[in-house]
Amino acid sequence: MNVYMHKTLAWIKSLASINIRVVATAIVAIGILHICTTLASPFLVEKTAYGRMEKQLPLNEMKILPPVTPTSQPLPFLSADVRYAMCRFSSTQGPITITAFLPDKGWTLSIHTPKGDNIYTATGNSSHTSLITLKLVASSNSFSGLTPQSLGLSLKEDPIQVLEAKNGIAVVRAPDRGEAYIRNTILAMRRAKCFHAKQ
Amino acid sequence: MRFALHRLKKRAINLVSALSDWAAFIGIILIGGIGSTWYFVSAGTALTTQVFGPWVMWSNEARTDADPYTRAHFARQPTLNLSTEIASTFVAHTDSDGVRLHSSCEYKINGKNLNASWWSLSVFDTSGKLIRNPIDRYAFTSDTVAISPNNEFVITLARSVQPGNWLPTTGAGRLTVVLLVLEGRNSSSINPDEYQEISLPEINKVHCR
């Protein structure tokens, strides 16, 4: 017992001899390293989702992907309970129009930046069908045309929403409810378009 | 001569001692800095995640105003997740007792039909890959799950065939269960407190092989 007490006392004495400045320096250095590694880690990844999908998706064209299975899973954690249509867009050469028909609950249209941020999402509703039209522009400062109201025209269709996005991926998710529904699901997905808009 | 050797030896010892002190100092900084980052980015903290039993949700997932920890966490997984403004993604690596999910065990996921416009529950291996199985079943959704008359459901994670809502796990090893909940039925955006009321499903271990 005495031996242990002696050792404990010696350890406490050795703690007292620790230089406070050294400890403070270590804590500050750990903090700086922590901040640097946290901020740097998104730039150290090999490939983002955009990078992975870049070669599989034609530019400014909506593509319906085959059903997600273990052998055809383009991204990790991409669930097999929905069918996907994706469009890799670039609005640097002019605005891009994206339209999607969201006939029921569970259907979504989402716009993702190359970093993976989800900058826009629309969801379907069972009470009414939604036809979403988006105009993607490289800069929100650029003139994207007069609105129908400003031209003195009545608004007959859903208004077009303008969104600032240079590059990214537009994703239409359609719940896969089984074999009996797949034909209608694919028909509705085919209504999703992605193309260069007129100025 | 002997004195000179002694001095040289003493200098060498002092040098080694100083170097070892510096090495220990740098080692502590590297372990502390990188280790704390790894923990904050992998597991999250109360500032970045919300925990409901075995389910973990990153509060700012896929948002443009996401904090650096959330951004670093999702940068490691090349995924196209929906923003928490419209959907919530809950991830479970453990059962409700906190034990790691593994394909050698059978689990019952018991829950009430969620108050959401649409939800899905999928099972993956730890790297996010779907698990190969002979019936090509990887998920259940609010459209496809069989719900009992009292509005409850039970999904079984098991290697062998099970009655009811069976999600095969075959020999995948460690498992990850992902629950995606799209906006609340009666609201246009998700209120985090809503999930306390919804009571997310429990994951109960039945037995292990």
Residue with tokens 């394909």: B103
In 3D space, the residue among A83, A130, A81, A82 whose CA is nearest the CA of residue A102 turns out to be A130
Best of A44, A71, A118, A177 to substitute, by most chain B Cβ atoms within 10 angstroms, is A118
The candidate with the shortest Cα–Cα distance to B179, out of B133, B206, B145, B148, is B145
A10 to A5, A7, A16, A180, B89: CA distances (angstroms): 8, 5, 10, 77, 52
Measured between beta carbons, the chain A residues lying within 8 angstroms of B117 are: 105-106, 123, 125-126
Give the rounded percent of residues in chain A with a pLDDT score beyond 70. Answer: 86
3-class SS of residue B1: coil
**pLDDT tens, residue by residue, A148-167:** 556 665 555 566 788 888 88
- What's at A125, amino acid-wise? N
Q: List all residues 6 or more positions away from B169 whose beta carbon is below 8 Å from its beta carbon.
A: B103, B123, B131, B133, B157, B158, B159, B175
Question: Cβ neighbours of residue A79 under 8 Å, at least 6 residues apart?
Answer: A68, B120, B122, B138, B139, B178, B180
Tokens for B49, please give them: 């995640």
Predicted confidence (pLDDT) at residue A30 exceeds the cutoff of 80 = yes
B81 and A118: CB-CB below 8 Å? yes
Q: What is the mean pLDDT of residues A113-133?
A: 83
Which range, of A59-73, A122-136, B60-74, B83-97, averages the lowest pLDDT? A122-136
Q: Taking a C-beta distance cutoff of 8 angstroms, is the pair B91, B175 a contact?
A: no
- Cross-strand pairs, A102: A130
Tens-digit pLDDT profile for residues B80-99? 889 888 888 999 999 999 99
A197 in Cβ contact with A135 (< 8 Å): yes
Confidence class of residue B184 from pLDDT cuts 50, 70 and 90? low
What's the one-letter identity of residue B1?
A: M
DSSP code of B150? T
| Helix H or strand E segment including B205 | strand B202-208
The full DSSP string for chain A is: -HHHHHHHHHHHHHHHTS-HHHHHHHHHHHHHHHHHHHHHHHHH-S--HHHHHTTTS-BT--EEPPPP-TTS--STT--TTEEEEEEEEE-TTS-EEEEEEE-STT-EEEEE-TT--EEEEEE--SSS-EEEEEEEES-TTS-----TTTTT----SPPPEEEE-SEEEEEEEEE---GGGHHHHHHHHTT-EEEEPP-
Question: What's the rounded Cα separation, in Å, for the pair B197 and B186?
Answer: 14
Whether B196 shows a pLDDT value over 70: the answer reads no
CA distance B66 to chain A (A): 9
Of the candidates A34, A45, A119, which has its C-beta nearest B64's C-beta? A119
- Closest by Cα among A57, A58, A63 to A172: A63
- Tell me what pLDDT residue B185 has: 47
Which residue among A70, A73, A121 places its CB closest to the CB of B82? A121
Contact residues on chain A for B30, CB-CB shorter than 8 A: 33
For residue B51, pLDDT beyond 50:
yes
d(CA A77, CA A62): 22
